[in-house]
Every structure is written in C-alpha cells, then in structure tokens.
Amino acid sequence: MDVDEKTLKKGEKYYKAGKVLWVVKYGDKLFSKVLGTYPYYVEINTSTGENRCTCPLGGDCKHVAAALKAYESGVYFETFDRHTELFPEAIAMEFLAEVPELALDVTIKELRFALNTDESGSETARLFRRALLLLQALDRPEVLHVLEEVLEEYRHVFSDYRLTEKLEGEFRELRERSKGGV
C-alpha cells in the first residue's frame, strides 16, 4: 500500500466517524464499504498491499486507509465463502442478518447518508423499510425518533410521491405496535 501519512490520518478519522459500514475478510483479501462523498467499495490484498477503491483515486486513498484501520481494530467478518470476491456486500449482509442490532446500526448510518445523496428517493425508501423490519424484531424504541426525523426529511423532499404516504403508513403502524407493547 502506498498511502502517505496525511491520507492515513484522514482514513483514521473516517473510521472513527463510523464511515466504514462493514469489512469482510476472505483469505488474504479485505472487502469493504465506506461512506465518503458517495458510498465507495474497497478491496485490499493484505499480503501484497495492493488495493482498489471505487473513488476517483482508484486506491491508496482515505477509504482504503479507513477500511484497513477497521480491520486492524478487529472490526470485520471473516468468511470462507468462495463467492465473496463476486458479492462481498451480500456476504456482509448475511453476517449482519445474524446480528440484528448491528444490522440496524449499519442501516441507520446508510439511511442518513442516503437521505442526503439519493436523488430519486429509491435507496432511502429501501433502507427505511429495512430499518422498519429490523425494528419489528428489536426492542429499540429510541430509534423511532430517528426514523421519524428521516421520514420528515423524506416527506419534505418527496412530498408528491405516493411512496411517501406508504412509508408514513408503515411507520405509523410500527409506532402504534411499539406503544401497544410498552
């Protein structure tokens, strides 16, 4: 890896700010998703230091440094699934599905990010629905206000979408169920 000290420090800041959503280790390779200006996908060969990133630099960047910092800090999933190189995000989602609390935290990070970058509202709606499903399985009433804030912003940007009404209805149902369970 050919990353200068300044880039390493930026990567560490990204890691500490929670911008590394997941890291999957397969053999001597790491795969990661890091939130920057856009979501970026990182690959690192831990044996050779070779790396790639989908950011404009293509590698040796703060996203690579952030993913490496997460790995060095022990924040990764290890797999032996031969499909990892083709579908690292699917492998990460499988691991997250086994730990709903962590899946919800990652989904909330992605949701907040998508709210600011998703011009169509499609990704935001998909993540919002995933958060609702995860909340049904977890007792995390404090997350309801986060989703309510996201929904309010979504409504502001996409007020003319029928989808907005559907999301509002799904949220109301979940909130009512949560109140009934309290």
Residue 10 binned pLDDT confidence (cut-offs 50, 70, 90): very high
Q: Are residues 115 and 137 in the same domain?
A: yes
pTM for the full model? 0.89
Q: Are residues 107 and 88 in the same domain?
A: no
The pLDDT mean for the chain works out to 94
Q: Are residues 163 and 116 in the same domain?
A: yes
Residue 182 binned pLDDT confidence (cut-offs 50, 70, 90): very low
Please say which residue of 55, 75, 97 terminates a domain: 97
Letter string b/e over residues 71-92, b meaning 16 or more CB atoms within 10 A of that residue's CB: beeeebbebeeeebeeebeebb
Q: Are residues 87 and 107 in the same domain?
A: no
Enumerate residues 6+ apart whose C-beta is below 8 A from 76.
Answer: 22, 23, 24, 25, 30, 70
Q: Are residues 140 and 174 in the same domain?
A: yes
> Residue 136: which domain range?
100-181
Q: Are residues 163 and 141 in the same domain?
A: yes
Mean pLDDT of 93-116: 95
Is the pLDDT at 179 greater than 90? The verdict is no
Q: Are residues 32 and 70 in the same domain?
A: yes
Q: Are residues 126 and 167 in the same domain?
A: yes
